Each structure stands twice: as C-alpha cells, then as structure tokens.
Amino acid sequence: MINLLINDQKVAVQNGTTVLAAARKLKINIPTLCNHDDLCVAGNCRVCIVEQKGAKTLIASCATPAAEGMEIHTNTLKVRNARKHIVELLLSEHRSDCTKCYKNQNCELQSLANDFAFGDHVFLDLVEDKKYSIDRSSASFIKDDSKCIRCQRCVRTCSELQSVAAITVANKGAHQKISSFHNRPMSQVVCTNCGQCVNRCPTGALVEKTAIDQVWDAIYDPDKHVVVQTAPAVRVALGEDLGYDPGERVTGKMVNALRQLGFNSVLDTDFSADLTIMEEGTELLVRLKKALVDGDKSISLPMFTSCSPGWIKFVEHKYPEFLPNMSTCKSPQQMFGALAKTFYAKKNNIDPSKIVSVSIMPCTAKKFEADRPEMRSSGFKDVDYVLTTRELAVMIKQAGIDFRNIEEANYDSVMGNSTGAGVIFGATGGVMEAALRTAYEIVTGREVPFGNLNITPVRGMDGVKEATIKIEGCVEAWKFLEGAELKVAIAHGLANANKIMKMVRDGKATYHFVEIMACPGGCIGGGGQPIPTNLKIRQKRMAAIYAEDEHKELRKSHLNPDVIAIYKEFLDQPNSHKSHELLHTHYVERDNY
C-alpha cells in the first residue's frame, strides 16, 4: 500500500493508483475532461492539475501515480488560477453557442465553465480564426469540430475499444484536429457508426443525428399510422435520462409514455428478436448439416451473428472475406420493419404507404442500418426513423410527461409479445444464450442443461467468451449431430471482435457459431444509450436485463405466441421463401480506410 496526503488527509492506496483515484477515495472531487474510466490515460486537457509539494510544476492527477509520502493539494490558489485559465483556453477554442447546442446542459465543458462562474471572458475568441467545418455526412452522427476540445476521448474510443481507428489526431500545433483519413466525410471511411465516440464526447462535437422532429411530424400527421418498436436494451437504460439510477427497469412506464407521445401502436423489438432466433437458429442448423453431413465445401463456418449493424459494417470494411460467414438474417429492427409494412399492415388492414415505422434503439448504427438500400423488402423503407434511447428521453421531456409518476402499461399486439430470450439480446452473450435455448431443444427435444435456463458461461463482461456444448440424445431429425461438440464464442466491443477475427482468420480457433456485438457490454452499452457510460453502469444495465428475463413467463423464443402465429399465418416456416424475401439480407464489401 502507498500512503500519501491529499489536502492534509491521509489515504492509503494500491500501487499504481493515480492521484485522481486516491483523491476520489477521500471524496475529494478533482474536475476532469480528457479522463474516462473506459479509456487509457491521456493527461492532455490538464484540467485535473494539482499541486505536489516539492514539484516545480503542477501535475496532472489523472496521469500521475500516487507515490509514498506524496503531499498533494487540490485546491490551492495556484491550482485554481491555472485551472481557470485552462478552462478559459478551452472555451476560447470552442464555439460556445450553448443554448442552441444539442448537448446543452449535458456538456462537461459547460458544467466546468459553470463551476468557475465566468463573468467576463478574458481571452480572445479563436473560433472566428478557424475554418471549422461540420460533417453531417454520416447517417448516425454529426461531427462538429467547432465544439471539439481535443480531449481525444473519441480517438481513444475508436482505437482502443473498437480497434477501428476511423478517426485520428491529425496535424499539430494550432492546426491539430480530430480527423478521418485525409479529412474524408465520415460516411466515406471505415467508421462503423457504433457511436461509442458519441457516448464519450464531453461536448457537442459528436452527437447523434436526431430524427426527433421528423417523428413528431409523423405523429401529428393525421394520414399516418405510426408504429414504434423498442429494442431490449432501451428499457433498462432510459430511466437514467429521466432521473432514475442506472439499472432501473422502466419497461411499463416507457410503453405508457410512448402511447402518450401519440404512437398508434407500441410494439416490441423483442418479438423480432425471438423471430431472429427462429431464423438464425435454423440457418445455423442447416449450415451445420450441410457442412458436417453433406460435406458441402461452400458452407462457411463459423457463422457470425448479424444483429449488430456496427459489427456488420466492421466486417464489410475490414474482413470482407468473411461476409459469407455472416448470418443472412436481418437484425431484429429490420425484421420488424419489414413485417410492419407487410404482415402488420395486412393484419390491421392499413395501407403500408401510410405506415410510419419508428424504432427506439440503444444504437446509432441502427440509423445507418435503416438507411441501407437493402432494407426496403416491404417495398418501402422498412424502418423510417430510428431514435436513440437519449432521443426518446428528450421527446418524453418535450411532451411534459411526468415519467416517474405515470402508470405502467403493456405492449400492443400482434408483434408486441416477447420472451425472456428476446430480452437478453440486449446484453453480450444474449443472442447466443437465446439461440442455444431454442436450438438445443429443437435438436434434443430437451431444455438446455443449465439451471433455470441461465447459460452462465456465455454471460458476463469478459471481452471474449468461449463455450463448448456437447449435444447428446438427439431427436431423429438431428441424429447427425449426436455427440457433436458445438463450439461457440462471444465477443463485445469491436476490439474483442477483432481478436476473434484474427484468431479465426489465422486458423488459431475453430468455432461453429460466434456472437458479436459492436459495443462494450452489447446493446446495453450501445452508442445511443444515456451518457455517461462506464463499466459499473453497464453492469447495472446488464443485471436489469437478466432480471427482466427472469420475470418473463416465457423464456424461450420458440414459445412466443406471436412468433408461432406469424409462421402459421404469414411466413410458413423459418427460412421459408417468404422469410428469405423479408427477413434475410446480403452484405457488401467496403473500402478499408
């Protein structure tokens, strides 16, 4: 243990603890900007400077390890003056049109400025000298360099967490900026639209491209029938933007709020998650049969899940040779969208051209996915507008709904029923678990051999998880799988996905089925989820997801009555011709820069 003094208080910390963390242990708050719990230390912004006795300069508390006998003062006049200067310098480079900013009151720079209660701005405005540009090219987010404070959280996120490095620090000195490859529009580079950078941007430099106004317009258009679907991970995070602590399940209130907002029908992406299991599970079993029994060399294994549009785009850019390995299943959002304007329209006798299909997603990449030209199987744009969890919270506030005090409500049907298996899609390992619950039962006629259906080896926050499931006692149709060991792997965060891809590419690992989610923790840590994010928050959301599962009456996708009904009434059977037409898709190779 290392003993030091901070503001004359003794504290003992583990070797390697930063001065910042040591101060936090004493409940001493040191402001930070470039520091983020998920990322490596940068020590760039210098906001967290403190005074160390005997040192000539101030030290960055986030970047300095605590040392034995250190004497630190966090709030001397010297520190305050320097810190004030630093915040002012940042403001001088930042377009401070706060009241008109999307991040107004949700901005770390603004809140720091607020702490210093600046009356007069001392330094000269540099914004006018810079030829700042706003990049609106991405379907998912807006990059406004005039709001950027060069903390490099986004750059570290993109390279450390996602191993994409679509953005970088470019140039130096006064010209230093955060840039894509040679300043190309974000829509024309390897960016996966995952939005993890948006989640970590302390200012309004990176924000989702909002569709709030378009959705309001649709809701108030008397000619339109507006259906909304909600992704599994939204219900365990929305509360954070509406005054709840992380990990609160607000499903019922959310449904009620959506109804109050004026959506004509409030349905659930969990339904199409269950449907995905039927389609993707069948696809896997068919691939296994063709590869293992028929010896069909054209079948690509392992099969990768395809629910995460960030992951899809990652493969399209970086591993196009593995596109045949991707499940052809659309994501639950897009399955839902295709059915909303076909099955749902028909069943409710609504002209599909009058349907506006909206989804509430924990994700920014879903905005891009909905815009893909492949996603028009219904003859229309299958999903018209995608809102993030954050945008939904904004709409709820705009509408003046007293979220905390409204009643809980249930989803509409049809396409509103779901099982616990659909719910856990929101957490890393969830698709795998849901698939196994169903596939194992199809093949063996028995439930998965895990207590209370909880397949714990595929759960948790480990970056890469592996499991082997021995298949025994197969029913007649699946006898060829008797004794087979199904090898599966799960990764979340594209840096972990990249590890798996390298192992698979280099023949260092053989799997049959791999679940990958682009975001850390899976969708619960999605780029459209409430800000801030860190491991603790994600763990709480994850616990809430599994609690939601446990509370469900039905916990296996194939038991979802809406799913059973749709096959009976509309789709015939999994992987049928109709399914392929509406629920499956294809991918395109993209440039790797």
Partner 1 sequence: MENKGLNKVDLIFEKIDNHEVLAKGFKMSKDEIIQEILNSGLKGRGGAGFPTGMKWKFTSEAKSPEKYIVCNADEGEPGTFKDREILDRVSNKVHGGMAIAGKAIGAKKGIVYLRGEYRYLLPKLMIELDSFHKMIKKIGYDFEIEYRLGSGAYICGEESALFESIEGKRGEPRNKPPYPTVSGVYGKPTSINNVETLVTAMMIVQHGAKNFIQYGTKDSRGSKVFSVSGDTPTPGIFELELGMTVQQFVNEFGDGDTKAVQVGGASGFCVPRKKFAETIIGFEGVPTGGSMKLFNSSRSMYNVLHNYLEFFTEESCGQCTPCRVGCQQLLKGVEKVKKGEAKSTYLNELMKLADTMKIAAKCGLGQSVGNAFKSIVGNFKEEIIY
Partner 2 sequence: MYQVGNLVKELSDKHGHARESLMPILQAIVQKHNYLTDEAMVEVARELDISAAEVYGTASFYTFLDTQVKGKYVIRVCKTITCSMKGKSDIIQSIEEMLNIKVGETTPDNQFSLIETNCIGWCHKAPAILINDLPFTELTPEKVTEIIKDYMQK
Q: Count the alpha carbons within 13 Å of 194 in the hemisphere toward its beta carbon.
A: 38
The verdict on whether 327 is a catalytic residue reads yes
Q: Which of partner 2, partner 1, none does 47 bind, CB closer than 5 to 8 A by kind?
A: partner 1
List own/partner pairs for 15-19 with CB under 8 A and 24 or more apart: 15/65, 16/65, 17/65, 17/66, 18/61, 18/62, 18/63, 18/64, 18/65, 18/66, 19/50, 19/52, 19/59, 19/61, 19/62, 19/64, 19/65, 19/66, 19/70, 19/72
Q: Which of partner 2, partner 1, none does 547 bind, CB closer than 5 to 8 A by kind?
A: none
Please pick, from the candidates 110, 138, 152, 529, the single residue that binds partner 1 as defined by CB under 8 A.
152
158 vs 338 by CB, closer to partner 2: 158
Whether residue 481 contacts residue 469, with contact meaning beta carbons closer than 8 Å, is answered with no
Q: Which of partner 2, partner 1, none does 532 bind, CB closer than 5 to 8 A by kind?
A: none
Please tell me whether residue 490 binds partner 2 under the rule CB under 8 A.
Answer: no
Q: Which of partner 1, partner 2, none does 43 bind, CB closer than 5 to 8 A by kind?
A: partner 1
Q: Which of 208, 316, 369, 515 is catalytic?
A: 369
Q: Which of partner 1, partner 2, none does 165 bind, CB closer than 5 to 8 A by kind?
A: partner 2
The verdict on whether 550 is a catalytic residue reads no
Q: To 10 degrees, what angle do helices 77-92 and 108-116 make?
A: 130
Q: Which amino acid is at 252?
A: G
Give the torsion through C-alpha atoms of 436, 439, 441, 443, to 10 deg: -130
Please tell me whether residue 494 binds partner 2 under the rule CB under 8 A.
Answer: no
Per DSSP, the chain holds a count of helices (H) and strands (E) of 19, 18
Please tell me whether residue 182 binds partner 2 under the rule CB under 8 A.
Answer: yes
Please tell me whether residue 592 binds partner 2 under the rule CB under 8 A.
Answer: yes
Please tell me whether residue 503 binds partner 2 under the rule CB under 8 A.
Answer: no
Q: Which of partner 1, partner 2, none does 58 bind, CB closer than 5 to 8 A by kind?
A: partner 1
SS3 489: strand
Residue 127 C-beta: closest distance to partner 2, Å: 22
Interface with partner 2 in residues 189-218 (CB under 8 A):
189-190
Q: Which of partner 2, partner 1, none does 93 bind, CB closer than 5 to 8 A by kind?
A: partner 1
Please tell me whether residue 118 binds partner 1 under the rule CB under 8 A.
Answer: no
Which of these segments, 36-44, 298-306, 447-455, 561-569, binds partner 1 (CB under 8 A)?
A: 36-44
CA distance 435 to 563: 15
The verdict on whether 280 is a catalytic residue reads yes
Cis peptide leading into 532, omega within 30 of 0? yes
* Backbone torsions φ then ψ of 342, nearest 5 degrees: -125, -80
Please tell me whether residue 47 binds partner 1 under the rule CB under 8 A.
Answer: yes
Please tell me whether residue 461 binds partner 2 under the rule CB under 8 A.
Answer: no
How many binding residues for partner 2 (CB under 8 A)? 18
Residue 171 C-beta: closest distance to partner 1, Å: 7
Q: Which of 240, 283, 433, 441 is catalytic?
A: 283
Residues in CB range of 484: below 8 A, 6 or more apart: 288, 292, 470, 471
SS3 302: coil
Residue 503 C-beta: closest distance to partner 2, Å: 14
SS3 142: strand
Please tell me whether residue 89 binds partner 2 under the rule CB under 8 A.
Answer: no
What are the CA-CA distances from residue 247 to residues 87, 241, 243, 545 (Å)?
33, 12, 12, 9
Q: Which of partner 2, partner 1, none does 397 bind, CB closer than 5 to 8 A by kind?
A: none
Please pick, from the candidates 49, 231, 338, 363, the single residue that binds partner 1 as defined by CB under 8 A.
49
Please pick, from the candidates 27, 119, 171, 295, the single residue that binds partner 1 as defined by CB under 8 A.
171
The verdict on whether 369 is a catalytic residue reads yes
Whether residue 299 contacts residue 275, with contact meaning beta carbons closer than 8 Å, is answered with no
The verdict on whether 128 is a catalytic residue reads no
Q: Which of 137, 374, 466, 578 is catalytic?
A: 374
Residue 505 C-beta: closest distance to partner 2, Å: 11
Q: Which amino acid is at 438?
A: T
Interface with partner 2 in residues 151-180 (CB under 8 A):
159, 164-172, 179-180
Please tell me whether residue 66 binds partner 1 under the rule CB under 8 A.
Answer: no
Whether residue 388 contacts residue 528, with contact meaning beta carbons closer than 8 Å, is answered with yes
CA distance 385 to 325: 29
What would the two tokens of residue 87 be?
A: 């915040």
Q: Which of partner 1, partner 2, none does 49 bind, CB closer than 5 to 8 A by kind?
A: partner 1
SS3 447: coil
What are the CA-CA distances from residue 305 to residues 280, 281, 286, 418 (Å)?
8, 10, 15, 20
With tokens 């230390």, the residue in question is 41
112 vs 166 by CB, closer to partner 2: 166
Please tell me whether residue 115 binds partner 1 under the rule CB under 8 A.
Answer: no
Please tell me whether residue 565 binds partner 1 under the rule CB under 8 A.
Answer: no
* Residue closest to 110 by CA, chosen among 80, 59, 149, 77: 149
Please tell me whether residue 127 binds partner 1 under the rule CB under 8 A.
Answer: no
Whether residue 381 contacts residue 367, with contact meaning beta carbons closer than 8 Å, is answered with no
127 vs 484 by CB, closer to partner 1: 127
Residue 497 C-beta: closest distance to partner 1, Å: 24
Residue 44 C-beta: closest distance to partner 2, Å: 15
- Separation of first and last alpha carbons in the chain: 46
Q: Which of partner 1, partner 2, none does 100 bind, CB closer than 5 to 8 A by kind?
A: none
Q: Which amino acid is at 525?
A: G
- Catalytically active residues are 280, 283, 307, 327, 366, 369, 374, 523
- In the complex, the residues that contact partner 2 under the rule CB under 8 A are 159, 164-172, 179-182, 189-190, 592-593
- In the complex, the residues that contact partner 1 under the rule CB under 8 A are 41-47, 49, 56-58, 60, 63-65, 78, 81-82, 85-86, 89-90, 92-93, 122-124, 126, 129, 149-150, 152, 169, 171-176
